[in-house]
Structure 1
Amino acid sequence: MPVHNREIADKFDRLADLLEIEGANPFRVRAYRNAARTVRGYPRAMADLIDDGEDLSELPDIGDDLAEKIDKLVESGDLPLLDEVEQRTPKALSELMKIEGLGAKRIKALHEALEIDTIDDLKEAAERGDIRNVEGFGDKSEEKIKQRLVKYAGDEQRTQLIEAEEIAKPLVEYLKKAKGLKDIAIAGSYRRRKETVGDLDILITAKQDADVMDHFTDYEEVDEIVSKGKTRSTVYLRCGMQVDLRVVPQVSFGAAQHYFTGSRDHNIAVRKLGIKKGYKVNEYGVFKGDERIAGKTEKSVYKKMDLPYIEPELRENRGELEAARKGELPKLIELDDIRGNLHAHTKATDGHDSLKKMARAAAERGYEYLAITDHSRRLAVANGLDEKRLRKQLDAIDKFNGDQDDIRILKSIEVDILEDGKLDLPDSALKELDFVLCAVHHKFDLPRKKQTERILRALDNRHCHILAHPSGRLINEREAYEFDLEKILEEAADRGRAIELNAQPDRLDLTDESCKMAKDLGVKISIATDAHSATDLDYMRFGIDQARRGWLEKKDVVNCLPLEKLLKLFER
C-alpha cells in the first residue's frame, strides 16, 4: 500500500512536536519540520522518486539520514524513532499543540505544574481557574485558552487543498481504468478550489455493463465501505477522507456537476430563479413539468436561467448571479497571465537553493522576472540579512543580471515590521532595492488597535511597496492576528501600496473574501509563492485558485505587468 507524501510529512511533524516538548536541540527539531515542509509540498511522490532510483538526499533539507528514514517509511510505513519517542512521551501531549498559543515550552510547563496531558485535562484546569496560577500564564492567558478550546471543539476537520489533490488525483486515474467508464469529474469544494476540502464527490457516466463500483471499492486505499450500490457508493480512505462516487445518466451529467459542485447557497439561488420561470432545477436537469429541457451540460443549465456560464470558483452566492445577469462577471485571472514572482528566498537565509538555481527555475516557467526577498536581520531564526550581507547579495544579483538576458532578478528583501511599526533596516539600505516587501513575523498577540497602527506605520514608509501575508494565518494551525483589515486596505489604496496574496498552500493569505474586498477598494494584489526552493515556485497555481475565488482579474494583479511597467509602478 503506497505511503503518500502527506503521511511522511505528518510523521516528521509529529516527531518534531514530541522532541520539542522533550526539550530536544532546536536545530534537530527544525530539521524535521523543514523536512516535513519539503516532502509535503514536493510535486512528486517520494515513493516514485525511490522507484526511479533518485537520490532523496539531494532534496532541500533532507540529507542522508532523513533520506534513509523516508526510504524506510515508504517501504514499511513506520518511523522507528517516532515510535521510540512516543513510548516515552504522553501520546496526547502533541494534540495540545493544536491549540493556538500553546507551544512546546508552555505545554511542558502545564504538564509539570498541573499534570496536563490531554485536551480534556486542559479544559478541566481552565474551568477550575488553575492555569492562571502557573508561571508564565495569567488571567488573560487562561481566558484565551478557554476561547481557543471552544473553537477547537467546533472545528470541522478539513484537508488542505494541496493534500486533497494528492489523494484525489491517483484515485481518479485509478477509476479511469474501470471497464465501461465514460466521463469522470470531481465536484464539491474541491472543484470550487476552496482552500480546504471536507470530502470528495466524484461523478461518472458509464456503460450499462460497467464494473466501476466494484473497481472503486477495491481501491487499495479504501479502509471502510460505508455503502455500495449500483448508482452510489461511499467509502472512507485510509487517510480518513470520505469519498462519494455517483453514477449519473449522460443526459444529466451537467446538472449533476452543477448540483454537486455547489455551493449550497449558489444552488438555492439558481433554483429560485428557475421557480420564477416555471422550472424545476435539480441534479437530474432542468424540467418544465415532466420534460427535461436542459442538463446535459452546465452551460445548458445556466442558459435556461438566462445567464452565462459561471466559473466554479465564483459559485458562493456572493453576487455572482447578479453580475452574470448584468453581464458584469469578471474575466478571471489565469496562470498564464503571471509574468513573474515577487517573493522568493535563497540559501542566504532560510531558503534551500542558490540564487542562480531559483532564477533558472523561474526562467524555465516562462517568467520575465523573479524577486529575491530574503529575510531581514531581526528574523535570526532564518539567518536574516544585515546591511552588509544585503549589499553582498545585491552585488551578486548585479553580476547575475549582467550575464543573463532571459530573466531579470529584482532586488528586494522581506523586511520585518517591528512592534512600533518601524522597518527592520534603515532607509539608506532599502532605497537601494527595486521594491520592498514588508511583513509581520512576531508579536502576533498585540491588541487589534495596536496591531493595526503598527502596520499602518509601516505602510507610511515610502520604501514599503507590498505588505506580505497580511493576516499571518496558517491554515488549520494558526489564526489570523487581530487587526482591522478593511482599514489597512483603505490606507494601502490611498498610499499606492500593494497587498500580497501568499500562494503557500498553508497560508493562502489573503482569503478569497479579502481578495474581493481589496479589489473593490482598488488595491493592487501581488500573487507570490514565498518560495523557499525552486519547486515551491509551482505553488503559484494555488494562489491563482484563491485569486479566482476572490474575483481577481489580470488587471488587479501587479505581477501580471511586464517588467518595465512593474518597475514604474514601484517608482511611484
Structure 2
Amino acid sequence: MIEKLIADLHSHTLASTHAYSTIYENTLAAREKGLKILAMTDHGPRLPDSADILHFKNSVKALPDTINGVLVLKGIEANFLPGGKTDCPEKLYRSLDLVLCGFHNGAMPSQGRDENTEIALKTIRSGLIDVIAHPGDPNYPKDLEAIVSCAAECGVAVEINAASGAGSRIGSNEFCLLTAKLCKKYHALVSVGSDAHFMTNIGNLRHAIEFINEAGIPEEQVINTSMEKTLNFVIGRGHPHPENYLKLLETA
C-alpha cells in the first residue's frame, strides 16, 4: 500500500501559457509538500501556447540542479504526432532529464483507435520517450493493453495522472484504473504526476495513488517512491547527468 511519494514527475510553469506559476514558485510548493524531486515538463512546441524549443534547450544550462532544496528534472511533455514522431528532436531528448509524451488536441486530433495505438507503439519503440503521459485520456481511444505491454517491454514508464483522476479529463477515471490494472498485469514501470498548472496543485497526487492502490500495484513498480528509484530510472534511460545524480544518491 502506497501512502506517500517523494517525486512529482509532471508539472507545468508559465512557459506553458495556460499554466500560471514559475519554477521557483513550484519548487517552493514542492518543498512545503515534502517532495524531494520535481520534474518541470512544459508542453512541447507543437501546441500553440507552448514554449519555443529554446526554452527546453536552455533549461539544462540555465537552471541549477536544485532550487529551494528540491531537485529539478528538466524535461518536456512532448506531443505524439503522426508516424510515431514527437516534437522533441532526438538531440533535445538526449540533453534533457525526462521526456513525457502525450496526446493533445492542439498538436494532433485523434486519428482513431487503431491509428492512435500504432502511433503510440511506434513512439515507445523509438527509444525517444521515457513516460507515456495520461494514457487514460478518453478523447484519444486506443488499445491500452497493447500500449502498456509495449511500454513494459521497452522500459518506458506509464503515467497514472492525478489531474485526470481529479476530473481534468472528463471520463478518465475508468481508463486510469484500467491502465493501473494493466500496469500490474504486465509489470510496467509506473510514473505519477500531478500535471499541476498552478503551484497549489504541485504534489497533489492523491487520486493517482488511489488508482495504484486499488489496482494492487506493488511499490517496486512505482518510480516515485524514492530518490534512488527516480534517479536510477533517469540514468537507465540514458540521460546526461549521471555524475551529478550519483553524487546526489550518495547523500540521499
- Give your verdict on TM over 0.5: yes
Offset, 1:537: 2.0
Q: Residue 286 of structure 1 aligns with which residue?
A: none
Whether 1:333 aligns to 2:17 is no
The 8 Å contact of residues 435 and 463 in structure 1, kept in 2 or not, is answered as no
Offset, 1:392: 3.0
Q: Residue 162 of structure 2 aligns with which residue?
A: 503
Cα distance in 2, alignment partners of residues 524 and 565 from structure 1: 11
Whether 1:567 aligns to 2:236 is no
Where do residues 227-376 of structure 1 align in structure 2 (5 Å cutoff)? 332-334=1-3, 336=4, 338-349=5-16, 350-376=18-44
The 8 Å contact of residues 434 and 567 in structure 1, kept in 2 or not, is answered as no
1:481 corresponds to which letter in structure 2? Answer: Y
Whether 1:481 aligns to 2:144 is no
2:154 corresponds to which letter in structure 1? Answer: R
Cα distance in 2, alignment partners of residues 356 and 447 from structure 1: 40
DSSP-derived class of the 2:45 partner:
coil
Offset, 1:494: 0.6
Instruction: Please say which of residues 389-398 and 347-356 is displaced more in the overlay.
Output: 389-398
Q: How many residues align?
A: 227
Offset, 1:450: 1.2
Cα distance in 2, alignment partners of residues 368 and 538 from structure 1: 10
Q: Residue 530 of structure 1 aligns with which residue?
A: 195
1:391 corresponds to which letter in structure 2? Answer: K
Q: Residue 249 of structure 2 aligns with which residue?
A: none
Whether 1:492 aligns to 2:151 is yes
Offset, 1:347: 0.9
2:83 to 398, 408, 420: 420
1:412 corresponds to which letter in structure 2? Answer: G
The 8 Å contact of residues 44 and 87 in structure 2, kept in 1 or not, is answered as yes
The 8 Å contact of residues 346 and 352 in structure 1, kept in 2 or not, is answered as yes
Q: Which structure's CA Rg is the greater one?
A: 1
Whether 1:407 aligns to 2:55 is no
Q: Residue 387 of structure 1 aligns with which residue?
A: 53
DSSP-derived class of the 1:431 partner:
helix
2:229 corresponds to which letter in structure 1? Answer: K
Q: Where do 5+ consecutive residues of structure 2 fail to align? A: 237-252
Cα distance in 2, alignment partners of residues 396 and 357 from structure 1: 17
Overall identity of the aligned pairs, in %: 30
Cα distance in 1, alignment partners of residues 20 and 177 from structure 2: 29
The 8 Å contact of residues 516 and 550 in structure 1, kept in 2 or not, is answered as yes
Cα distance in 1, alignment partners of residues 184 and 129 from structure 2: 20
Q: Where do 5+ consecutive residues of structure 1 fail to align? A: 1-331, 474-479
DSSP-derived class of the 1:526 partner:
strand
Whether 1:432 aligns to 2:95 is yes
DSSP-derived class of the 1:346 partner:
coil
Cα distance in 1, alignment partners of residues 76 and 190 from structure 2: 18
Q: Residue 209 of structure 2 aligns with which residue?
A: 544
1:396 to 48, 62, 67: 62
Cα distance in 1, alignment partners of residues 70 and 141 from structure 2: 39
- Give the number of the structure whose residues are more often helix, by fraction: 1
DSSP-derived class of the 1:558 partner:
coil
What's the Cα RMSD here? Answer: 1.8
Query: Which string of whole-angstrom CA distances, capped at 9 and with x for unpartnered residues, describes residues 319-342 of structure 1?
Result: xxxxxxxxxxxxx211x2x01100
The 8 Å contact of residues 370 and 409 in structure 1, kept in 2 or not, is answered as yes
